[in-house]
Amino acid sequence: MRPTGPRLLAEHPNTRAPNGRKPLGALLGLLPFLAYTTTFLLVPTLIVVVGAFLDGNSRPTLGNLSALAQPQIVSAFIHSTVLSAVTAVLGAVFGALLAYAVSTAREGGLLRRLVTSLCGVLAQFGGVTLAFAFGATVGFEGFVTLWLKKYGIDLAGSTWLFEPYKGLVLVYTYFQIPLMLIVFLPAVEGLRPQWREAAESLGGSTWHYWRHVAGPILAPSFIGAMLLLFTNAFSAYATAKALISQGSPIIPLQIGGTLSSEVILGQENVGKAMALGMVAIVAVVMTIYVVLQRRTTKWLGS
């Protein structure tokens, strides 16, 4: 039985000051943190949110929002969404398989530690490194390209690596799978061996166990992790920037474009509108994620 130990004591921190007043002095201790996050997190967010509704002369307008209806922006949103959804599903499926495989390995063993550390790095290391890695492999001079040329298969013919739905999907999946492992492995490890043994002793086969017990228990975590993968891909900028030199097929690149010098005055607020749109989509997805998380902790945290 897991030791409950010290945690029992801190479970009910009903520690109000003896006379019931909110400790004002204590609040001061929170000041540095609040000041910092206000300056570098909350203020920028506000600037984006408010700026989306201002025009070039800082007057309120809905013009930026209607500018979002421009064809290239709409298509950028669609591309971003589809790309994120596809890589989220791919990453989720393969990442889950990997997580299950790793969970059956010995705890604290070498394989598990190796895989977890590797995934920790690869999940963060999208961007330039990844773009170069894929370029070195399947790009114009990549060894796979050259190798396939020997067999008459010409990859370098099309700039497929730089197209959103082929190259980007492949490259994004590369960092989606590790992220899935990191996020989903704890859930898989939360499956108690007793559940499997109980299912077996009650007459269930492996299929029954997965269909009636493990599957339903893992489903919220799986979907939640997939949603996290979605926001991760949706927000990614560096990878696409390093791969794509012409055009801005996805939203983050569009936003980046509004920040560079070739921007007409007033257009930058369209960038803020786009950013607002991004935040809205991501916020919705994250809310669903949080809700799913709560249900999971109830089950797997027991």
Q: Which one of 54, 86, 90, 130 is in contact with another protein (CB under 8 A)?
A: 130
Residue of 88, 276, 57, 109 whose CA lies nearest to 169: 88
Answer left, alpha or beta for residue 126, where phi above 0 means left and psi between -120 and 50 means alpha: beta
124 binds another protein (CB under 8 A): yes
122 binds another protein (CB under 8 A): yes
β-bridge partners, 60: 54
3-class state of residue 54 by DSSP? strand
Q: Which one of 113, 149, 166, 294 is in contact with another protein (CB under 8 A)?
A: 113
102 binds another protein (CB under 8 A): yes
Phi, psi of 63 (to 5 degrees): -60, -35
Structure tokens belonging to residue 157 = 């013919």
**Beta carbon of residue 209, minimum distance to another protein (angstroms, whole number):** 9
Listed ranges 60-68, 70-78, 81-89, 117-125: which one lies at the site for another protein (CB under 8 A): 117-125
Q: What is the C-alpha separation between 302 and 299, in angstroms, rounded?
A: 6
Listed ranges 67-75, 151-159, 160-168, 190-198: which one lies at the site for another protein (CB under 8 A): 190-198
Q: Count Cβ atoms below 10 Å from residue 43 Cβ, excluding itself.
A: 11
24 binds another protein (CB under 8 A): no
Q: Which one of 129, 159, 267, 293 is in contact with another protein (CB under 8 A)?
A: 129
Q: Which of residues 56-95 bind another protein (CB under 8 A)?
A: 94
| 180 to 51, 104, 123, 170, 259: CA distances (angstroms) | 34, 17, 9, 15, 32
Q: Which one of 53, 63, 279, 293 is in contact with another protein (CB under 8 A)?
A: 279
293 binds another protein (CB under 8 A): no
Q: Which of residues 149-178 bind another protein (CB under 8 A)?
A: 174, 177-178
Q: On the CB side of 237, how many CA atoms lie within 13 Å of its CA?
A: 10
**Beta carbon of residue 184, minimum distance to another protein (angstroms, whole number):** 14
212 binds another protein (CB under 8 A): yes
- Are the CB atoms for 211 and 199 separated by under 8 Å? no
6 binds another protein (CB under 8 A): yes
Q: What is the C-alpha separation between 169 and 232, in angstroms, rounded?
A: 13
x/- map, 233-252, another protein, by CB under 8 A: -xx-xx--xx---------x
- Are the CB atoms for 230 and 243 separated by under 8 Å? no
133 binds another protein (CB under 8 A): yes
Q: On the CB side of 300, how many CA atoms lie within 13 Å of its CA?
A: 25
47 binds another protein (CB under 8 A): yes
**Beta carbon of residue 152, minimum distance to another protein (angstroms, whole number):** 20
291 binds another protein (CB under 8 A): no
